[in-house]
Chain A
C-alpha cells in the first residue's frame, strides 16, 4: 500500500487496560471518582498516584495483584489548572460532556441526566481512578491505601464509588457471555484479525489502524492520506498516547427482562425462550453466534477461541433469517452487513465506528429461582458499568449509540431501536425475520442509564505534565 514500515508503538506511554483487557483477569473492579477543590492539591495527589498507573507493555512476571488507571473529565482538566488554550484543543463532545448529549444518546425519561446519581453528569465529577484486583481481599487492601492517600491530599474528595465484579462464566446480568469480541488492531492484536478486523473481499480481514483507538497515531484516514497525517488530537503532550473513555452506569431490570422474554415466547416457536433470547442479542447466551449456529447453541463454544468470532453477515444471512437485522450485535458492530452497493470490501460503512469495550457488571446476580415463581423484583440495583475507549467519541461511540442502537434508519428498520439498549420512551418493536416474521412488542425499560461521563485517558508523559503543571508555573 504505502511501502512504509509500521509505526513504532510506545507501549510504555499508553495506559494499561486500553489495548489489553484487565477485567477478565481480575475478579474485582472499583471506579473511584474524585472531586478536586484545589488545583495544586489535586496535582500533588495525581503525582502521588503516577508510580502506580500501569502501562501497556507486556507483563514479564506474574500479573500484578492490583492495577490502577486514571482518566479525567473536562471539568477535571479545568480543576487541575490546564490552560484554556490547551483545553480548547479537546473535542467538542468531550468538552460538552455526556449529560449535554443526552437527547441524541437516548438518555431521556427515566434515563435523563436530571435523574442520574450525583455527581455523575455534573461539573463536580473530575478524576476517575479505576482499580482492578485479583481478589476481594486485595481490593480492600488497595482501597484502604488509596483512601488514605486521598485523606492526606489537600482539596481532594471521593464523591462517587462504584464497585463491580465478574459474574460466573463472564456473563452479564441478563445471562449473556459478554465482552470477548473486540476490534483487531494492526500490529497490536493480530490474533483478533479474523472477525475482529475489517471484512474485505475473498473472506479476508485486516486489523484496524491504532489511531482509531489511541491518539497521536495514524488512523484509517491517515492510511489513505498521501501525507499520512494523524487525526486531530489535543495539544502536546496531552494528545500523545491518550484516548477518550466513555463511562456509563446502566441499571438492568433482570426480573422484567426475564418476564418479557417468557411472555413473548408463548407465541414464539412453541415457547422457545432461549431461542428468542438469542434472536434479541444475535448470540446464544453462551456466546455462540446465531450466524454459525442458528438452531441451537454449541455447548462446546469457547468465547476465548477467536475462530468462533470470524463470521460475516451478507454471505449467509443477508435477509436476517438467522441473525435478525436488528439483533444487538448486528447493530453494535454490523461488520459487512451494511454493504456498499455490491462492493466486496463491504466493511466500508462500519469500520470507522468501532470501540474497545471494557464493561464490568455490578450488583449481585438475581437467582433464576427468583423469577421462576413470578415477580422476582428484589429492589437490588444491578447492571453493567459500560466502559469503552475510542479516538473520536462522536464518530465511534456516539455513532454507534445514536445511529445503530437508538435508531433503525441506517439499517432499513424504520424507527426500531435496539431491544436491549434503545431508549424505551417510544413505541417501537423488534422484528425477528422469518416466515412469518415475529414481532416483539414495544420494549419496556430493561436498561436505565443511571449516570455517565466522557473522560480523557492521558498517556504517561501527559500525566506527568498534568501533575507537574504547578511546579512549572511556580518556577
Chain B
C-alpha cells in the first residue's frame, strides 16, 4: 500500500449514488469546462477526476449476470500533500457539496468537516502509486516550465551575439 510518492498523495473515494440521482449528477459534471473546473481552485492538484460507474460490463460467458447494487461515484486526485489540508479545501468548494449531495449517506449539507469525514470513511487505499514529480509541487513544475520557456526564447533570440553582448543580455534577462 502506498498512498504517497514523495510529497505527492493519491486519494480515492468510492460512494454509491442515490437512486434516481445519476442523471442529475452526470449532467452537472458534464457542465464543467476547463475554465470552470473546480480543480482550478485547488492549485495543489496534479491530476484529478470524478467518474460515474453505472454498472459492471456484462460478461456473457459467466453463468449468472453480475450487477452493481447502484451506480457509484469514483473520485481520484493526485495532489501535493498532506491529505488533511487538501480535503479541507476541497470540502469548502460549493461544487463538492453539489456533487456529493447526490450520494448515499452524505451529510446534509455535504460540506465542511462532515463531508471530509464522509470522504475519509469511503477512502480506498492505493496499492501502488508513482508520481512523475515526487518532489516537485504543482507550483514548482509550473515555475520550472515557465523558466524553461524563457531560457529557450532567450537562446533563440541571442543566437549570434558576441560574448559581451550575450553576457549583458543574459544578465538583463535572468538578473545574474
Contact = CB atoms under 8 A, between A and B. Distances in A.
B148 A414 contact: yes
Contacts of A441: 156
A427 B156 CA distance: 11
Q: Is the interface of B mostly helix, strand, loop or mixed?
A: helix
A86 B155 CA distance: 55
Contacts, number: 13
Contacts of A442: 156
A279 to B, nearest CB: 15
Contacts of B159: 267, 438-439
A429 B153 CA distance: 8
A414 B152 contact: yes
A427 B160 contact: no
A267 B157 CA distance: 12
A430 to B, nearest CB: 10
Nearest to B158: A439
B153 A427 contact: yes
Contact of B155 (A267, A414, A439): A439
B157 to A, nearest CB: 8
B148 A439 contact: no
A156 B159 CA distance: 58
A429 B152 contact: yes
B138 to A, nearest CB: 18
B interface bracket (residues with beta carbon within 8 Å of A): under 10
B164 to A, nearest CB: 17
Interface string A416-450: 00000000000101000000001101100000000
Contacts of A438: 159
A442 B157 CA distance: 10
A442 B152 CA distance: 11
Looking at chain A's contact residues, the main secondary structure is loop
B153 A267 contact: no
A442 B156 CA distance: 9
B160 A439 contact: no
Nearest to B161: A267
A414 B153 CA distance: 13
Interface string A395-425: 0000000000000000000100000000000
A305 B160 CA distance: 40
A429 B160 contact: no
A86 to B, nearest CB: 24
Nearest to B153: A427
B156 A429 contact: yes
Interface string A373-413: 00000000000000000000000000000000000000000
Interface in B146-169: 148, 152-153, 155-156, 159-160
A463 B152 CA distance: 53
B148 A267 contact: no
Interface in B85-107: none
Nearest to A267: B160
Contacts of A429: 152, 156
Contacts of B155: 439
A326 to B, nearest CB: 13
A262 to B, nearest CB: 15
A442 B155 CA distance: 12
A434 B155 CA distance: 14
Interface in A312-363: none
A267 B161 CA distance: 10
A276 to B, nearest CB: 13
A265 to B, nearest CB: 12
Contacts of B156: 429, 439, 441-442
A429 B159 CA distance: 12
A434 to B, nearest CB: 12
B153 to A, nearest CB: 7
Interface of B: 148, 152-153, 155-156, 159-160
9 smallest beta-carbon distances between A and B, as pairs? A267-B160, A439-B156, A429-B156, A441-B156, A439-B159, A439-B155, A267-B159, A429-B152, A438-B159
Interface of A: 267, 414, 427, 429, 438-439, 441-442
Given A267-B159, A439-B156, 11 more contacts: A267-B160, A414-B148, A414-B152, A427-B153, A429-B152, A429-B156, A438-B159, A439-B155, A439-B159, A441-B156, A442-B156
13 contacts: A267-B159, A267-B160, A414-B148, A414-B152, A427-B153, A429-B152, A429-B156, A438-B159, A439-B155, A439-B156, A439-B159, A441-B156, A442-B156
